Each structure stands twice: as structure tokens, then as C-alpha cells.
Amino acid sequence: MTEISLIIVSAALVNNFVLVQFLGLCPFMGVSGRIETALGMSLATTFVLTLSSVVAYAIQALLLIPLDALWLRTLAFIVAIAVAVQFTELALKKTSPLVHSVLGIYLPLITTNCAVLGVALLNTNRAHSLLESAFFGVGAALGFSLVLILFAGVRERLELADIPRPFGGASIALITAGFMALAFMGFSGMIRL
């Protein structure tokens, strides 16, 4: 139990995927303009991250290790993530059109989110068990959601702020992201795994 809570805190805060490991920066910059879109993206990513870390574990344990083909990991995981995302979208569209209209446009974006592939690869590198893999995915998703929503809140305020023109738009967003990364460095040393 302590092990699992340590994994979640470590993935969410100490080794935050966006601000410490710099994975998944594209959606972090791309969909953080408004809190509603950030929320939709976080929900979709949470779902896909958890699902794909389990699927990746299954592929690793059932296929790649018996075949002694570990060098196929990246390729096989990308295919599996794409299938998982596509399957989720199809199922969601049929079963719950409302949720689909909230998450709809963000789901395909996640296929190429490097945080998802990063979680799958880190799971195999650290030889996590099935349960640990799933919770590592949950922790990473929590951290991603937290940072994305915080950043969207900051950017909504930035829209209204009186920023000198050379710093406007993407520049001030990147500077702000840098400050947030500095703040998250405060978590390092809290836990060592």
C-alpha cells in the first residue's frame, strides 16, 4: 500500500511528467487556453494513460518477453496506444454521446502524446508489476491534469494582464511554464524511489 501511494505521489508531483520530465508538452501548451478545454483534455488523458499502461504491461509480459523481442517495445506500444484510443472513441461515441462531445476532439490528440508512450516505457524500464503499472499511469495522469488545469487558470489571467508586447502570447506562456517547473523542483527530495 505504501509502495503504491509512493508511486502515485512520485509520478504526480516529484517526477511530474510535464514540468520535471518534460513529456507531453504539446497538449500542455496547446489546450491550456481555457479551463474547460483543459478539463476535457485531462479527463481524456487520465482515461487513456491508465488504460494504455495496463495494455502495455500485458504486451510486455505476454508477448515481448516470451518472444525475446524487447527492442520492439516502442513500435508495439505505439500501435497498442493508437488501438486503445480508437477503441475508446468508438465505444464512447455509441454509449455516451455527451461524454464524447466533451472529450471528442481531444481523444485522437492523445495518440501522439509522448507522456502516454513515456509512461508505458518507464513502466517496463522500472519493471513494475501490473498493479504498479496501473497506479503509475494514474499518478502520471493526476500530475498531468493538475499541471494542465493550473496552467490554464494562469493563462486565463494572462489573457487579461497588461503584458509588454514583446513578451505577449506564447512567450509569456513559456516563461510562466518555466516558473511553474521551478516551483515543482521544490518537490524533489521529498521522496526518493
Partner 1 sequence: MTDGIMTLGAGVLGLGIVTLAGGILLSFAAKRFRIESNPIIESIDALLPQTQCGQCGYPGCQPYAKAIISGESINRCPPGGQNTVDRLADLLGLPTTPLDADPEAASQDKVAVIIEEDCIGCTKCIQACPVDAIIGAAKLMHTVIFDQCTGCDLCIEPCPVDCIKLIPRPLRKDHWIPASPPLIATDRSSPLAIKHG
The one among 26, 30, 69, 193 contacting partner 1 by CB under 8 A: 69
The answer to whether 140 and 17 have CB atoms below 8 angstroms apart is yes
The one among 68, 127, 170, 189 contacting partner 1 by CB under 8 A: 68
Q: Is 147 in the site for partner 1 (CB under 8 A)?
A: no
Q: Is 161 in the site for partner 1 (CB under 8 A)?
A: no
The answer to whether 140 and 11 have CB atoms below 8 angstroms apart is yes
Measured from the CB atom, the residue of 48 and 59 that comes closer to partner 1 is 59
The one among 160, 162, 165, 189 contacting partner 1 by CB under 8 A: 160
- Give least dist CB 187 to partner 1, A: 32
Q: Is 74 in the site for partner 1 (CB under 8 A)?
A: no
Q: Is 168 in the site for partner 1 (CB under 8 A)?
A: no
Q: Which residues are CB-contacts of 58 (< 8 A; sequence separation ≥ 6)?
A: 130
Q: Which three cell numbers stand for residue 52?
A: 494504455
Q: Which stretch binds partner 1 (CB under 8 A): 3-11, 92-100, 117-125, 146-154?
A: 92-100
The residue whose grid cell reads 514583446 is 166
Q: Is 90 in the site for partner 1 (CB under 8 A)?
A: yes
Cα separation, 138 vs 9, in Å, equals 10
Q: Is 93 in the site for partner 1 (CB under 8 A)?
A: yes
The one among 26, 30, 63, 174 contacting partner 1 by CB under 8 A: 63
Q: Is 109 exposed, middle or buried (0-12, 13-18, 19+ CB in 10 A)?
A: middle
Cα separation, 166 vs 22, in Å, equals 25
DSSP 47: H
The answer to whether 163 and 172 have CB atoms below 8 angstroms apart is yes
Q: Site size for partner 1, by CB under 8 A?
A: 22
- Give least dist CB 19 to partner 1, A: 28
Find the helix or strand (DSSP H, E) in which 74 lies.
helix 73-95
Binding site for partner 1 (CB under 8 A): 59, 63-64, 67-69, 71-72, 75-76, 79-80, 82-83, 86-87, 90-91, 93-95, 160
